[in-house]
Structure 1
Amino acid sequence: MGSSLCPATMAHYKVDQDDWLTVYLKYLLAVFNFFFWMGGAAVMAVGVWTLVEKSGYLGVLASSTFAASAYILIFAGTLVMVTGFLGFGAVIREDRSCLSAYFCLLLAIFLVELVAGVLAHVYYQRLSEELRQHLTRTLAQNYRQPGAAEITASVDRLQQDFRCCGSNSSADWQHSTYILSPEAEGRRVPDSCCKTVVARCGRRAHPSNIYKVEGGCITKLEQFLADHLLLMGAVGIGVACLQICGMILTCCLHRRVQLHLY
């Protein structure tokens, strides 16, 4: 009799073990999904912060790669948060089609973030060259010119926020179309170079009156953008690592559900 009960007991134990593994995977995937959702919120927040708080500097950049990376992060973050809700539903229902859709969305988001990461890396490599070629030309040719209101505002904000004057130094403004024009009213630098901005304060280009920073605005802007791109990359990599774990857990749970059906 003992031998006849043994197979049944073992089968019952195996069923219990399978159920325990499924429940364990569900809890793991639910915990992952929570952190994944939070990561998506962080990715979206970084993208929004880049566009809202730092958009004033975009006018002095030659390409739109920096802004494009921010838009991709916002899109990816939004998609992550929506996918997170789907993930919770898939875990609760233990539905194979939902789990498959969840896995596909995780993979799609991973690819989107990979594109954003590549863009950020490429832009980081060409950042210094772009700034040095473009910023000096922008100050000389576009500042306070017709149709260049956005560039003018960007340059003014750049000089005030970073407390700098000129591309490499305040001497760069000597070749500016604006400074050489009657509109400058005798200014040697724009008023935004002044430590205390008042009307026509740019007439006096003394270190006590204007910012004279070694390396000019290029050095400070380059460092700022490099740090920001590294932050964007770090957040993206962190969420990508979470996604890899999530895809593995999703595959495991999908497999367990499939075995239960058969």
Structure 2
Amino acid sequence: MPGKAQHFQGPQVSCCAKYLLFASNVLFWLLGAAFLAIGLWAWAEKGVLSNLSSITDLGGFDPVWLFLVVGGVMFVLGFAGCIGALRENTFLLKFFSVFLGLIFFLELTAGVLAFIFKDWIKDQLNFFINNNVKAYRDDIDLQNLIDFAQEYWSCCGAHGPNDWNFNIYFNCTDSNPSRERCGVPFSCCVKDPAEDVLNTQCGYDVRLKLELEQQTFIHTKGCAVQFEKWLQDNLIVVAGTFVGIALLQIFGICLAQNLVSDINAVKANW
């Protein structure tokens, strides 16, 4: 009818998708920043930041790398997702979804390969543990990680207590002057519920005893075997965790792609 203004509503950017993606990535970004801060603080405490060449001095695995790598990836992805959603920047949103898709693909590939080459993975796990046993005293973070693993899984070494012969402080050679000779770390010890104070010397000389006698004082099963058993016992929890992470990644990719489609549709309507 003449005299009446007609309004044509074109395509719009979904506010729900936009702010849901923004809110989730703010949390992701802050978590990544926290991981990075913890990693850098740990390096500063060990003097690595003042002498970067000391990174190569460690013979085993430095757990700080986990915080730095995971934190860095989370920080970059979270930043791209936040700014991309808030500013409706298609380049950042595409970067976010492609990078997240690549991580999802790598996780899926790793899972399939781990299932196919499980025996090779087991051998590599044994090698990894023994390599870190050698470097047990070289880095406090590595030492704490090994102690935690041995206490949590009630184990000692990769295959058993004798793996501690790989460490210069615990080996049984006659030339070893260490008081810990033929012993194991305290984290291998069977805990006495009656003891309130931790006995850090409980593993001294224990490998001089017969194997049956050792079982009274320390855990004699290897960590590789115990870890495999733990995975089998907690298969549903572990699988559920990975499926949950995968669904969150797919949800994030779908949100970002939906937002890109909305933005492109609005631009095309200009």
Q: TM-score, normalization: structure 2?
A: 0.59
Q: How many residue pairs were aligned?
A: 227
TM alignment of 1:150-229, pairs within 5 A: 150=139, 153=143, 155-173=146-164, 178-182=170-174, 183=176, 184-185=178-179, 187-192=181-186, 193-195=188-190, 197-199=199-201, 201-204=203-206, 205=209, 206-213=214-221, 216-221=222-227
- For the residues of structure 1 that align with 2:246 and 2:256, how far apart are their CA atoms? 15
SS at match of 2:200: coil
TM alignment of 1:53-64, pairs within 5 A: none
Task: Check the 8 A contact 2:93/2:260 in 1, yes or no.
Answer: yes
Percent of residue pairs bearing the same amino acid type:
12
- For the residues of structure 1 that align with 2:189 and 2:71, how far apart are their CA atoms? 36
Residue 117 of structure 1, aligned match among 98, 104, 107: 107
Partner of 2:253 in structure 1?
243
SS at match of 1:202: coil
Residue 123 of structure 2, aligned match among 126, 129, 132: 129
RMSD over aligned CA atoms reads: 4.7
Task: Check the 8 A contact 2:81/2:96 in 1, yes or no.
Answer: no
Larger Rg: 1
Q: Note closer, same or farther for the CA distance 1:113–1:242 as it changes in structure 2 (3 Å cut).
A: same
Partner of 1:76 in structure 2?
73
SS at match of 2:218: coil
Shift of 1:232: 6.9
Q: Note closer, same or farther for the CA distance 1:246–1:156 as it changes in structure 2 (3 Å cut).
A: closer
Shift of 1:115: 6.6
Residue 86 of structure 1, aligned match among 83, 88, 103: 83
Task: Check the 8 A contact 2:83/2:92 in 1, yes or no.
Answer: yes
- For the residues of structure 1 that align with 2:22 and 2:28, how far apart are their CA atoms? 10
- For the residues of structure 2 that align with 1:253 and 1:75, how far apart are their CA atoms? 28
SS at match of 2:12: helix
| Structure 2: 5+ residue stretches without partners | 41-57, 191-197
Partner of 1:95 in structure 2?
none
Task: Check the 8 A contact 1:33/1:88 in 2, yes or no.
Answer: yes
Task: Check the 8 A contact 1:29/1:250 in 2, yes or no.
Answer: no
